[in-house]
Amino acid sequence: MGRHSLDSVCVFCGSSDAADPQFLSAAAALGRALAQADLKLVYGGGGVGLMGATARAAHDSGGRVLGIIPDFLVGKERALETVEHIVVSSMHERKIMMFERADSFVVLPGGIGTLEEIVELLSWRRLDLHAKPVVFYNPRGFWDPLFALFQHTVDEKLTPPEFMQAWTSVEAIEDVIPTLLGEGASDDAEDERRVAGLS
């Protein structure tokens, strides 16, 4: 994998404050790392859960942050008004704007909403609608069941085998940005992704 020239990173992640404190800490670490790397954070606009932890840490570290949130979630997800944010009218508008404003993607632990976002993102990748880097942060094998399901669809000849190359997975939060940029961590991450996806 060659080095990528990136300016912005869209982060998909959970919005629950009840998430594992280690996940919340990792989200904050990613936010700080994005700021240090001068990569703009594009995210779902909320101030809760991993979403809020990432955005606050990036902002507090002097990073560029853009939140995109539907009007009906402004109260529920406590829109982070201390950062640049755009209020849209629907989930569809939010997702397409996040996609258009980012040139790479990071997936942190999340729930059904995160699943919905990343399955659509990977479906677009499967259809050759984009070739933007996608990196999963996979602590304790969090995403392994999803990778196994993807592999199951390949085994059943419902998805082409090359789909399994559509993302990379890392276990350490400090490997996320180097892997996005194609610097050093990518080979190990690719080996891990193969194990997670094919075992």
Q: What is the pTM of this model?
A: 0.88
d(CA 66, CA 99): 12
| Three-class DSSP category at 17 | coil
The backbone torsions φ and ψ at residue 8, rounded to the nearest 5 degrees and listed phi first, read -140, 150
> Rounded to an integer, what distance in angstroms lies between the CA atom of residue 172 and that of residue 159?
29
Q: Is the pLDDT of residue 191 over 70?
A: no
Q: Which of 126, 135, 148, 131 is nearest to 108 (CA)?
A: 135
Position 133 pLDDT exceeds 80: yes
pLDDT tens-digit series, residues 1-25: 445 689 999 999 999 999 999 999 9
Walk me through the domains of the chain, giving residue ranges and CATH numbers: 8-198 (3.40.50.450)
